[in-house]
Amino acid sequence: MPHSKTFHAPTDPDAILRRSTSIDTAIMIAARKDCALIEDEVAGLISRVALGDRLAFARLYTHTSPKLFGVCLRILRDRTDAEEALQEIYIRVWQRAKSFGRAAGTANSWLVTIARNHAIDLIRARKRPTEDIDDRTDIADESVPNPETAMAWKDEGRRIDECMGRLPSAQSRAVKQAYVEGLSYVELAELFSVPLSTIRMWLRRGLLKLRECMESHG
Amino acid sequence: MADESELRPGEMDDALAAEYVLGVLPHDERALIEKRIGSDAAFAARVATWQAHFSAFDPDYAEVSPPAAVFDRIERRLFGAPAPARTAFSLWGSLAFWRGLAAASLAASLFIFFRPDGAIFQSQAPVLVAELAATTGHMGLVASYDPADGEMRIVPIAAASDNPKSLEVWLIAEDGRPQSIGLVDTADKGLIRISDPMRQRIHQGVSFAVSLEPQGGSPTGQPTGPVLASGTLRSL
Give pLDDT tens digits for A52-68: 888 889 999 999 999 99
Of all residues in chain A, what percent carry a pLDDT higher than 90?
49
Question: H or E segment at B233?
Answer: strand B227-235
Q: How confident is the model at residue B154 (pLDDT cuts 50, 70, 90)?
A: low
- For residue range A140-162, list pLDDT tens digits in order: 333 434 444 444 344 446 788 89
A69/A160: higher pLDDT:
A69
CA-based radius of gyration for chain B: 23
pLDDT (0 to 100) of residue B120? 29
pLDDT (0 to 100) of residue B191? 67
Query: Are B64 and A104 a contacting pair at CB < 8 A?
Result: no
Strand partners, B230: B133, B209
Tell me if chain A has a CB within 8 Å of the CB of B14: yes
The mean pLDDT value for A163-176 works out to: 94
pLDDT (0 to 100) of residue B146? 56
pLDDT (0 to 100) of residue A105? 66
Q: Is the pLDDT of residue A190 over 50?
A: yes
Residue of B nearest to A61 (CA): B71
Instruction: From chain A, pick out residues whose CB is under 8 angstroms from the CB of B160.
Output: 95-96, 98-99
**Are the beta carbons of B145 and B137 closer than 8 angstroms?**
no
Same domain? For B87 and B151 the reply is yes
The residues in B 124-153 lying below 8 A from A, measured between CB atoms, are 137-138
Tell me if chain A has a CB within 8 Å of the CB of B71: yes
Question: H or E segment at A76?
Answer: helix A54-76
Angle between helices A132-142 and A169-181 in degrees, nearest 10: 100
pLDDT (0 to 100) of residue B73? 93
Same domain? For B141 and B85 the reply is yes
Same domain? For B210 and B163 the reply is yes
Same domain? For B55 and B148 the reply is no
Residue of B nearest to A163 (CA): B53
Tell me if chain A has a CB within 8 Å of the CB of B53: yes
Closest by CA position to A72, among listed A121, A35, A125: A121
A12/B217: higher pLDDT:
B217
* Closest CA–CA distance from residue B102 to any residue of chain A (Å): 15
Kindly provide the residue ranges of all beta strands, DSSP E only, lying in chain B, ordered along the sequence: 108-114, 128-134, 141-146, 151-156, 165-172, 178-183, 191-193, 207-214, 227-235
Indicate the average pLDDT of chain A. 75
- For residue range B67-95, list pLDDT tens digits in order: 999 999 999 999 886 333 333 333 333 44
pLDDT (0 to 100) of residue A47? 85
Q: Is the pLDDT of residue A103 over 70?
A: no
Q: How confident is the model at residue B34 (pLDDT cuts 50, 70, 90)?
A: very high
pLDDT (0 to 100) of residue B152? 64
Same domain? For B231 and B119 the reply is yes
B134/A62: higher pLDDT:
A62
A114/B200: higher pLDDT:
A114
**Are the beta carbons of A116 and A71 closer than 8 angstroms?**
yes
Q: How confident is the model at residue A6 (pLDDT cuts 50, 70, 90)?
A: very low
**Number of CB pairs < 8 Å for A and B?**
182
Same domain? For B227 and B150 the reply is yes
Q: Is the pLDDT of residue B209 over 50?
A: yes
pLDDT (0 to 100) of residue B185? 64
* Tally of domains within chain B: 2
Q: What is the distance, to the nearest Å, from the Cα of residue B23 to the centroid of all Cα atoms in its chain?
A: 28
Query: Are A201 and B2 a contacting pair at CB < 8 A?
Result: yes
Q: How confident is the model at residue B201 (pLDDT cuts 50, 70, 90)?
A: confident
Query: Are B58 and A54 a contacting pair at CB < 8 A?
Result: no
Q: How confident is the model at residue A119 (pLDDT cuts 50, 70, 90)?
A: very high
Indicate the average pLDDT of chain B. 68
pLDDT (0 to 100) of residue B23? 96
pLDDT (0 to 100) of residue B62? 94
Tell me if chain A has a CB within 8 Å of the CB of B60: yes
The mean pLDDT value for A168-173 works out to: 93
Same domain? For B47 and B81 the reply is no
**Are the beta carbons of A191 and A137 closer than 8 angstroms?**
yes
Closest Cβ opposite residue B45 in set A14, A98, A179: A14
Residue B84: Cβ within 10 Å count? 7
B90/A91: higher pLDDT:
A91
Closest by CA position to A167, among listed A107, A213, A200, A101: A213
Same domain? For B10 and B116 the reply is no
Biggest CA–CA distance in chain B, Å, is: 71
Q: Which of B43, B60, B77 is the last residue of a domain?
A: B60
Query: Are B27 and A91 a contacting pair at CB < 8 A?
Result: no
Domain that holds residue B103: 69-235
User: Chain B interface, mutation test: which of A23, A87, A102, most B Cβ atoms within 10 Å?
Assistant: A87
Q: What phi, psi does B225 have (nearest 5°)? A: -95, 180
Same domain? For B86 and B43 the reply is no
Pairing of the two strands B151-156 and B165-172: unpaired
B109/A42: higher pLDDT:
A42
Tell me if chain A has a CB within 8 Å of the CB of B1: yes
pLDDT (0 to 100) of residue B141? 55
Instruction: From chain A, pick out residues whose CB is under 8 angstroms from the CB of B161.
Output: none
Same domain? For B82 and B118 the reply is yes
Same domain? For B104 and B19 the reply is no
The residues in A 105-134 lying below 8 A from B, measured between CB atoms, are 105-106, 108-109, 112-113, 116-117, 120-121, 124-125, 127
The residues in A 8-27 lying below 8 A from B, measured between CB atoms, are 13-14, 17, 20-21, 24
Query: Are B61 and A13 a contacting pair at CB < 8 A?
Result: no
- For residue range B158-181, list pLDDT tens digits in order: 343 445 567 788 887 666 677 888
DSSP state of A100: G
Query: Are B55 and A109 a contacting pair at CB < 8 A?
Result: yes
Query: Are A94 and B78 a contacting pair at CB < 8 A?
Result: yes
Residue of B nearest to A113 (CA): B51
pLDDT (0 to 100) of residue A54? 87
Q: Which of B60, B88, B108 is the last residue of a domain?
A: B60
Residue of A nearest to B21 (CA): A179
Same domain? For B90 and B50 the reply is no
Instruction: From chain B, pick out residues whose CB is under 8 angstroms from the CB of A179.
Output: 21-23, 54, 57
Instruction: From chain A, pick out residues whose CB is under 8 angstroms from the CB of B61.
Output: 67, 70-71, 74, 112, 145, 180
